C-alpha cells in the first residue's frame, strides 16, 4: 500500500516539474559590454532556439530598470527555429552596471533571466 501511494504521488507531481523545464535554449544568458562611453547606448542580442515540439510565445520581457530596453518577437517561434531578444542599455550614468531582463514564456512557470553588465566611462 505504501509503495502504491508513493507511485501515485510521483505521477501526480511529475507534470509540475515538467512545466518548469524551459522550452528554449539560449546560446548565452549573460553578456558583458566591457567599457562603454557615457551617453552612447549599447545593444546586444540573446539568441535562443525552440527545443520543444510546439511553438513558443514570449508573453513578456521586462527590464529591471528604465535604463534597459528589451525587444522581443511577438510571433510564435516554431519548433527548431531561433528567435532573438535585443537588449539596449542607455549608458547615461557613469560607473559599473549589472542589469537583468526577465523573460516569461507562455505556459512555462519559471521565467528566464538574462543579464548584461559593463562599465560606463567618460567619452
**CATH class for the domain made up of 22-121:** mainly beta
Vertex 90, ends 88 and 95: CA angle to 5°?
Answer: 120
Give the model's pLDDT for residue 1: 54
More confident residue, 123 or 38: 38
Pick from 27, 31, 47, 33: nearest CA to 90 = 33
pLDDT tens-digit profile of 7-64? 454 444 444 434 457 899 999 999 999 999 999 999 999 999 999 999 999 999 999 9
pLDDT tens-digit profile of 75-92? 999 999 999 999 999 999
Indicate the domain borders of the chain.
22-121
Strands (E) across the chain are located at: 24-26, 30-37, 42-50, 58-63, 68-71, 82-89, 95-105, 112-121
CA–CA gap between residue 91 and residue 96 (Å, rounded) = 10
Amino acid at each position: 500500500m505504501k509503495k502504491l501511494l508513493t507511485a501515485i504521488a510521483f505521477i501526480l507531481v511529475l507534470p509540475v516539474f515538467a512545466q518548469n523545464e524551459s522550452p528554449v535554449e539560449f546560446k548565452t544568458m549573460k553578456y558583458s559590454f566591457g567599457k562603454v562611453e557615457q551617453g552612447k547606448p549599447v545593444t546586444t542580442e540573446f539568441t535562443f532556439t525552440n527545443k520543444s515540439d510546439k511553438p513558443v510565445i514570449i508573453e513578456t520581457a521586462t527590464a529591471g530598470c528604465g535604463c534597459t530596453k528589451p525587444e522581443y518577437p511577438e510571433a510564435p517561434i516554431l519548433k527548431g527555429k531561433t528567435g532573438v531578444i535585443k537588449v539596449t542599455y542607455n549608458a547615461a550614468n557613469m560607473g559599473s552596471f549589472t542589469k537583468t531582463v526577465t523573460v516569461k514564456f507562455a505556459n512555462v512557470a519559471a521565467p528566464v533571466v538574462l543579464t548584461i553588465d559593463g562599465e560606463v566611462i567618460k567619452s
